[in-house]
Amino acid sequence: MKILVVEDDHETASYLRTSLSSAGQLVDCAVDGAMGWQMAMNGEYDLLVVDRMLPHTDGISLVRNLRQRGKQMPVLMLSALGEADSRVEGLEAGADDYLGKPFALNELKARVGALARRPPLADLSTRLSVGDLHMNLISREVCRDGQVIELQPREFRLLEYLMMQAGKVVTRSMLLEHVWEFHFDPQTSLVETHISRLRAKIDRGYGVALLHTIRGTGYCLRAPD
């Protein structure tokens, strides 16, 4: 696996390179956000490890810009800012996981391994459909009744998970774990806010609702009978 580490602290970058290389990974390093952007856009990396606080371009902006340009490799974000709001901001930008500093080496390796085990898009069905709602996982285009729907990266991931679980009730905890990689409840309205935004985009103006709230349980995306 080829990994890009974007870290401006020389000691931390060297530690990450040595540790990940000893585990059999190929590791490149970028010393700031601008360099990380160029390398991530022009190189073929399987995973990125990105510090949140970077010179020139911060980690949040770096990840958000990569997602907007269609780069979907897993991203593990590192930060000394460990509060829930900071983790939420990193995940909202498009990071797949978030690890606070200081961190234990075994936890870093475990998280990198977990991200690496995710099946690539090529191993999945490239199209999902629920009624007249369609998603192309390669072009990342979503349309309903022939009309293209613009989604933010996290909205896309939320809809993707709901479509993969079409007809089933998914709980708030399931969404936090599978869409945000939270194994804890951040005690925010994160899920509710995104569900509301997603519902407005995929249901409003189409006459028949696909996204349903199951009171006291969770949510269900289903086509009308």
CATH topology of domain 122-221: Arc Repressor Mutant, subunit A (1.10.10)
Q: What is the pLDDT of residue 122?
A: 44
pTM: 0.55
Q: What is the pLDDT of residue 94?
A: 85
In whole angstroms, what is the distance from residue 193 CA to residue 129 CA? 24
**Helix 84-93 and helix 59-68: axis angle, to 10°?**
30
Distance of CA 27 to the CA centre of its chain: 21
- Residue ranges of the chain with per-residue pLDDT less than 50: 121-124
Query: What per-residue confidence (pLDDT) applies to 137?
Result: 81
Domain assignments of the chain as residue spans, ordered by start: 2-116, 122-221
Distance from C-alpha of 215 to C-alpha of 173, rounded to nearest angstrom: 15
Superfamily of domain 2-116: Response regulator (3.40.50.2300)
Tokens for 149? 């729907």
Query: What pLDDT, on the 0 to 100 scale, is given for residue 125?
Result: 56
Strands 97-100 and 75-79 come out as parallel
Give the integer Cα–Cα distance in Å for 36 and 43. Answer: 10
